[in-house]
Amino acid sequence: MALQPTDEVHVMLSSWEWGKYLGDSQLRLMTSSFQRPNPKSCFVEAKVTGHYTNSILATTEAKQKGFDEALLLDMHENVAEGPGANFFYEKEGKLFTAPVGNILNGVTRQTIFELADELGFELEEKFFTPEEVHDADGAFFTGTAAEVAGVESLDGHKFNFSWEDTMGFDLANAYQNRVRKKEYKQFELV
């Protein structure tokens, strides 16, 4: 064993039944004191085991403080993503999410971009702070295990609309329809 590349590789695959990772209830989030890794420190766009330590620390902190999940910031104090999911918020009829570069550009995230376009929802990638999210109309996480999970509040600030009245709710339904019918487009992962 060494901390350098090797020519010999061993792979093990496992599978098991797993329900929705974040459940079916809306989530109460807190801004974590832990940050996403600096993109110059590792490949943040890769889904590698080592990144999960950061996620475990953030989720543990949130649960110990009475929240359901954490929201991590980048090194500039902008919202990055959740411990295991991408983050979107809605304000005044428009969706926002963090740009790639400091987040994992998830397949479910890409599907939400596609569905938002099909539904005529305007979606913008931009940097934003937790304070901008506090007054949002709605928010949600996306991920392979999370699917599309509604968020009720961030740092105790409840969102302006009920989940059922948000674009996130419509996207969650469209996503479930797409998954059940197995209607996928091929994505180029970069």
Active centre residues (catalytic): 47
**Eight-state DSSP code of residue 161:** S
Closest CA to 187 of 121, 86, 80, 115: 115
What are 69's strand-pairing partners?
29
C-alpha neighbours within 13 Å on the C-beta side of residue 98: 30
Q: Is 31 helix (H, G, I), strand (E, B) or coil?
A: strand
Helix, strand or coil for residue 58?
A: helix
Under 8 Å between Cβ of 51 and 101: no
For 64: left if phi > 0, alpha if psi spans -120 to 50, otherwise beta; the answer is alpha
Question: Is the separation of the CB atoms in 31 and 71 below 8 Å?
Answer: yes
